[in-house]
Amino acid sequence: MYAFDIDAASKTDLYRDLAGALDALTADEVDPIANMANMAALLWEYLPDLNWAGFYRLVDGELVLGPFQGKVACIRIPLGKGVCGTAAATLETQLVEDVHAFPGHIACDAASRSELVVPIVYQGQLLGVLDLDSPLPARFDAGDAAGCSALVRLIAPRLVG
């Protein structure tokens, strides 16, 4: 149904192309779950060295598992706990080179070594977080954080159904 020409020549090009694909996939869709599912699948398909890509949604004051690609995951995460809960509580992107060194890390998959979590905020309200895990230490860098932050800004208004 969709065929995207994703250019992995540089990280900047990769995230620019991912943004274009994400925009095409979600522009006319009003269902937040469908949009999260397609974004998770897009990231899973085009970002190398991931073992998990998906969302936790803010529901009644805690993070609840949303659409994802990868192994089964923790279902509920309290705000302030683990990398995802910290990102949600502080509203700051968490770029973790070694999850085993992160105080209170929640190990849903023992193979995960590094993690990038970007809070999703729309009109001042936390909607949830985008969570990416990798089995490689230090897999994510500032370029990934910037690229994923741009993707989250694009998708956020499309998650308020």
Give the mean pLDDT of 128-140.
96
DSSP state, 104? T
Do 94 and 116 contact (CB within 8 A), yes or no? Answer: yes
SS3 120: strand
How many independent structural domains does the chain possess? 1
Q: Which helix (H) or strand (E) holds 146?
A: helix 142-155
CATH number, domain of 38, equals 3.30.450.40
Per-residue pLDDT for 96 more than 80? yes
Residue 93 falls inside a structural domain: yes
Position 130 confidence tier, pLDDT thresholds 50, 70, 90: very high
pTM, rounded to two decimals: 0.94
Residue 3 falls inside a structural domain: no
Per-residue pLDDT for 101 more than 70? yes
C-alpha dihedral (76, 39, 100, 140), degrees to nearest 10: -160
Q: Strand 52-59 vs strand 62-70: parallel, antiparallel, or unpaired?
A: antiparallel
Measured in degrees and rounded to the nearest 5, phi and psi for residue 48 equal -75, 155
Domain with 66 in it: 8-158
Give the mean pLDDT of 55-75.
97
Do 37 and 67 contact (CB within 8 A), yes or no? Answer: yes
SS3 154: helix
* Length of the chain counted residue by residue: 161
